[in-house]
Amino acid sequence: MPADSHLRWYRCVLPGMLLLLAILSGCAHPRVTPKGFELSPTTSSVLEDSLRPRRLAIVIGIDEYEDPTFARLHFARRDASEMARVLRHPDYGGFDRVVELTSWNDVSRRAILEELRRLRNGLRRQDTLLIYFSGHGSIEVGKEGRVRLYLVTADSRASDLAGTAIDVAALRHFLKDLKAQRKVLILDNCFSGNGKSRITATSREYLSRLPDPWGALEHADGETEAVLMASTLGGSAQEENALKHGTYTYFLLQGLTGDMIRADTNGDGAVTAYEAHDHARARTMEHTHGRQIPEGNFRVVGRADVFLSGRPDPELARAAALVYAYGATATPLSIEVDGRLKGAFPRTVPIPPGTHQVRIQDASGRAVAEGRLPFAQGQVYSLGLLIEELRGYRRYFSVNSGYVRQLRGDGGMIWGDSAPRVTIVSGYRVRGGALRGLTLSFHAAWSSTAGGDWTTLASTERRHVLEAGAQIVLRRSRGRLHAGAGWFGSAVYVPALDLPDQVASEQARAVSASQGWLSFPGGPVAWAGLELTRSLLLTFEGTLPIVVEDFAEDNSPEANVQAAFGIGLELGF
């Protein structure tokens, strides 16, 4: 081939080969995306991301304040920064987003409220929200002597807390209305005027005159899932140089990190809000020798609770039953299971599933309630309901005496305007579960009457009215007082009277009244009881028997209404 032919071949074939190599090179590296083009996410991945539960937090720490009334704090910003670090950490909190408000421009009232409003717009039902605050608290006595609690921001003024601070009741109501299903509010401050709080001299003097200042507290309309407080309402929350933190926050952080195994009382691999609080409360009280007593309020305890650190193992979480009690209690209580002390309240105590001998006792060791109870795997029990279950009874028997009085209708001509009555009752009461307090009973009653005007003209013979029936009542108790309401139905038999011939021939209404009658009244029941002993109640019962009947035989049926009441004794067994 001539030389010029070779040259022509290279000029024609070589560019084509180079182009082919470039195409093949692009196919060999599919991750290389041409400039100007982007890979589009699939619809399913977008949906998964939009439905994935998120964990969000706002942490606030305020050391310095414009108003000199509020002394400078030393570790509130450090509290918030460390809490934010733990919540972000993938091995601990693993929160998706943590907003940290600690700089001067971020801790004004307006800045904090703006952050809360922005957060509200993006929340979804499946999300978890945590709000943490470390700083000063304060109190204001409002209209009609109502006490209001405030979180003090950097620009708050003691002379105008309502206009410059954050109302705790309003904050809790705001949280209640958020879409997020799980919410936690943690407050490391106090309201007593000592420690991490300041109140004006006027408020302090007014509060000192109130016999129970916290009874005048203005509460929120609703509760969040969990509220963790560094102290009781009348107590003091402290900072400590040795810990370089607020005392409560220090031990709370310990429970979320280094002391996770100790704080994880049910051993499911995660520390929930109630477990973290239980740990911090016990350690704070121990460290301060009882001078600072944290307090918690939980609407949800158990598998639906918020976990703050670690990842729960669903199988391990279902392994134990949980017994809980929170809030201030006049008498500290503890629980023994099969002779072993399991824990003291307020806190949550895990119980092995199965039937156990349970003893709930006060600080002196005196039994408040005891007996055998079944505990189901993974179930959550209120201590108050356990006490009611142990102290209560399932079956009962009662006797009461009283009167029946005619209120409306012609039935009075048969049994008179009023008559004495004796009733015996045998019943069954549901002690636990969703139907707790529901009672089903059967009764038999007897009354003796001379009848109304028509029959007394006809005969002096007394009539014995017999009644048998059933009633269903829902009962509730508060301390020694019990009350309930429900409905009853019964059958009433009135035997016939023998009339003299003269009356029988002259007085048709007397003949009608003297006949034997069988009626089926029913109506509402109101019941009350006073607990004399664990199994003996003094009872008060009122019923309103109503029956539509034509006692006068004039073809005009009408509602006959009576009122029956009685007082008696109920014995449970």
| CA–CA separation, 92 and 78 (whole Å) | 18
| Token duo for residue 532 | 């004399």
Class of domain 395-572: mainly beta
Into which CATH architecture does domain 320-391 fall? Sandwich (2.60)
Partners of residue 473 on adjacent β-strands: 439, 486
Element (H, E) at 334: strand 333-337
The whole-number pLDDT of residue 470 equals 97
The whole-number pLDDT of residue 483 equals 95
The whole-number pLDDT of residue 501 equals 58
Nearest one of 372, 343, 374, 351 to 302, comparing CA atoms: 351
Element (H, E) at 132: strand 128-134
Backbone angles phi, psi at 292, to 5 degrees: -120, 120
- Which of helix, strand or coil describes residue 310? strand
Based on its alpha-carbon atoms, the radius of gyration of the chain, rounded to whole angstroms, reads 37
Locate tokens 């409360």: which residue?
281
Residue range 52-319, CATH number: 3.40.50.1460
With a cut of 70, which residues of the chain have pLDDT below it?
Answer: 1-51, 143-145, 208-224, 300-304, 314-318, 327-331, 432-434, 450-461, 498-513, 550-556
| Token duo for residue 127 | 């999300």
Nearest one of 116, 118, 109, 219 to 170, comparing CA atoms: 219
Asked if the bond preceding 41 is cis, omega within 30° of 0, the reply is: no
- Which of helix, strand or coil describes residue 366? coil
Helix axes 273-287, 247-256, angle to 10 degrees: 130
Amino acid identity, residue 197? Answer: S
Element (H, E) at 373: strand 367-375
| CA–CA separation, 197 and 236 (whole Å) | 8
The whole-number pLDDT of residue 36 equals 43
The whole-number pLDDT of residue 43 equals 57
User: What are the CA-CA distances from residue 341 to residues 279, 287, 321, 363, 374 (Å)?
Assistant: 17, 22, 16, 13, 18
Q: Which is it for the CA torsion 93, 94, 99, 104, positive or negative?
A: positive
Long-range interactions of 102-105: CB distance < 8 A, separation 24+: 102/59, 102/60, 102/61, 102/62, 102/77, 104/64, 104/154
CB environment 461-495: b (16+ within 10 A), e (fewer)? eebebebebebebebebeeeebebebebebebebe
Could you check whether 52-319 and 320-391 share the same CATH topology? no
The whole-number pLDDT of residue 368 equals 83
- Which of helix, strand or coil describes residue 419? strand
| CA–CA separation, 187 and 330 (whole Å) | 23
Helices (H), 292-430: 314-317, 383-391, 412-415
pTM of the model: 0.62
| CA–CA separation, 328 and 346 (whole Å) | 8
Helices (H), 296-376: 314-317
| Token duo for residue 497 | 């009277």
| CA–CA separation, 126 and 123 (whole Å) | 9
| Token duo for residue 106 | 């971020």
Q: What is the 3-state secondary structure (H, E, C) of 53-99?
A: CCEEEEEEECCCCCCCCCCCCCCHHHHHHHHHHHHHCCCCCCCCEEE
Amino acid identity, residue 496? Answer: A
| Residues in Cβ contact with 22 at an 8 Å cutoff, skipping those fewer than 6 apart | none
Backbone angles phi, psi at 4, to 5 degrees: -65, -25
The whole-number pLDDT of residue 6 equals 46
| Residues in Cβ contact with 488 at an 8 Å cutoff, skipping those fewer than 6 apart | 443, 469, 470, 471, 472, 522, 523, 524, 525, 543
**DSSP secondary structure of 441-507:** EEEEEEEEE---HHHHHH----EEEEEEEEEEEEEEEETTEEEEEEEEEEEEEE---PPPHHHHHH-
Nearest one of 388, 350, 353, 395 to 371, comparing CA atoms: 388
CA 323 to chain centre: 14
| CA–CA separation, 325 and 317 (whole Å) | 19
Longest dimension (CA), the chain: 157
| CA–CA separation, 101 and 495 (whole Å) | 84
The ranges assigned to domains in the chain are 52-319, 320-391, 395-572
